[in-house]
Amino acid sequence: MKKILSLMLLSVLFFACSEDKMDEINRDRNHTIEMQSKNMLPDLLLKSGFESTATDIAWYATVYIEHNAGTWNQSYQADRRLAQNASSLLNNSWNSIYDVMNIAKTIINQTDPDNGSEPTDFFSRGIAEIMMAYNLAITTDGWGEVPYTEAFKGLGNITPKYDKQSTLYPEIIRLLNAGIEDMGKTTVFYADKDYIYKGNKALWIKAAYSLKARYALRLTQIKGAEAANEALAAIPNAFTSNSDNMLLGGFVVDLPGGNPWGEFWYNRDHLSVSTTIFNLMDERHDPRMETYFSSVDPADIAPIGEANQVQGGYSQSNFTSGWDAFASPILMATYHELKFIEAEAKFRTGDATWSTSLQEAIEASFDFVGVEGAADYYTNEVAPKLTSGNELKEILTQKYIAFFDREAMEAYNDYRRTGIPEMKNPNNATVGFIWRFPWALSEVASNSGNVPKWTIFDKVWWAGGNE
């Protein structure tokens, strides 16, 4: 009996060893099972542009913030506030942005100095940290509480908890600080993998500081003047000109291959210039109007919330030339945004040079879109409106105008934070303003126990809402 058991044990051990040996022999050494971090950077940056910045999130935001009126199909429904609470509305965007953040998380894990397989790739790590902060901010700004600390684990946790926005904003700043630190350590660059700054770590550091200023100022309702001071502290290390702008370019005039905003307009024709922004610019005799709009005839402007459902019947964003052409880049963060942040932050902290920063912001906006006359515009149209008690309103109105329409998400965030400028869509009063995006169908279906109970008519935390 003992001999039989011994033979059986030897057989099992031999079989197990043979299996291990065969697995080793059959291992494919020509194809790695782990992609290098540097080779994931193009995917991270492209998807951050296409799936986070210039996608459905922005196209809904541009209607909510009244840069554009929705005059066809889903955009028309958004304009009329129809079916905006549907869990399918931004389901694809939710899943896409989590895919983007999962790429960033994978790079961060692989480049961990203590436990990663690429502990010295600080360049990839720095970009991943900055882009994680950027994408996380888009996510929490749009939805409020979102999964983060328990996310990105695959089958290890398919029902992650939702983190409060009050805990996510410190994490955004931590990620940016980490990205700045790691960019300072890097000695190896991958210019061909970096679709934004072509391997220029100094520009990545400037971008991270510019984003720090953006996200610091976001908390003015929470921190008051402290938020403004934190924004001002970041600005000396941030963008110094339009040449520093955080842009994703490489688009062409021939379609497909154009700027996604341009392709959305060309293929779907959902959006038309709204009376809200047109009237603000018209009453200020703004010289950017002919560059912004395909027609400046008031009869061609779509009445916000009341326009007919028609494709091509109204003035539209001008996709035919210059800054807004099919070959123009996706805007992630700009110098004119930074100068408007500086103007507002200085005003909130009592710094008398805020008006100089405002003028510089307007000049940067004019330069960016290739329009002359910024100095005269400021002197004749803007300065007279900077009367006591009206200063902040005009600062934010000018920022709103400069953001048309490629920077609609930031305009949407500014309005929710400040209530400036006044929105004119009559459906805001009868149905309600959209203060946050609806929960994604994929979450409602598979993680319903953790999905918060807020609706699209509830404000997010930094806009004055509860958690």
CB atoms within 10 A of CB 250: 13
What does residue 55 show for φ and ψ, rounded to 5 degrees? Answer: -150, -160
Interval 78-115: pLDDT, tens: 999 999 999 999 999 999 999 999 999 999 999 999 99
Among 465, 321, 418, which residue's Cα sits nearest to residue 65? 418
Q: Cα dihedral angle (237, 238, 242, 247), rounded to 10 degrees?
A: 140
Interatomic CA distance for residues 434 and 456, integer angstroms: 5
Q: What average pLDDT does range 133-149 have in this prediction? A: 98
Are 137 and 172 within 8 A, CB to CB?
yes
Interval 142-172: pLDDT, tens: 999 999 999 999 999 999 999 999 999 999 9
Say what the pLDDT of residue 324 is: 86
Q: Give 24-80 as a DSSP string.
A: HHH--SSS-SS--HHHHHHHHHHHIIIIIISSHHHHHHHHHTTSEEE-SHHHHHHHH
Are 49 and 248 within 8 A, CB to CB?
yes
Say what the pLDDT of residue 463 is: 98
Interatomic CA distance for residues 262 and 250, integer angstroms: 14
Domains, the chain, with CATH or none: 37-249+326-463 (1.25.40.390)
Interatomic CA distance for residues 197 and 204, integer angstroms: 7
Are 135 and 52 within 8 A, CB to CB?
yes
Q: Give 365-401 as a DSSP string.
A: HHHHHT---HHHHIIIIIGGG--TTTHHHHHHHHHHH
Say what the pLDDT of residue 3 is: 47
pLDDT at 337 over 50: yes
| Angstrom distances, CA of residue 174 to CA of 104, 167, 211 | 15, 11, 12
Interval 268-279: pLDDT, tens: 999 999 999 999
Query: Is the bond leading into 287 cis (omega within 30 degrees of zero)?
Result: no
Give the pair of three-digit tokens for residue 213. Answer: 């200023």
pLDDT at 8 over 50: no
Q: What average pLDDT does range 351-358 have in this prediction? A: 98
Are 342 and 232 within 8 A, CB to CB?
yes
Among 166, 105, 124, which residue's Cα sits nearest to residue 467? 166
pLDDT band at 419 (very low <50, low <70, confident <90, very high): very high
Say what the pLDDT of residue 32 is: 54
Place of tokens 């109007």: 289
Query: How many residues are present in the chain?
Result: 467
The pTM of the full predicted model, rounded to 2 decimals, is 0.93
pLDDT at 322 over 90: no
Report which secondary-structure segment, H or E, holds 208.
Answer: helix 201-217
pLDDT band at 19 (very low <50, low <70, confident <90, very high): low
Report which secondary-structure segment, H or E, holds 337.
Answer: helix 335-348
pLDDT at 315 over 80: yes
Q: Cα dihedral angle (387, 388, 390, 394), rounded to 10 degrees?
A: 50
Task: Using a pLDDT cut of 70, give the percent of the chain over it.
Answer: 93
Q: What average pLDDT does range 190-199 have in this prediction? A: 97
Interval 362-409: pLDDT, tens: 999 999 999 999 999 999 999 999 999 999 999 999 999 999 999 999
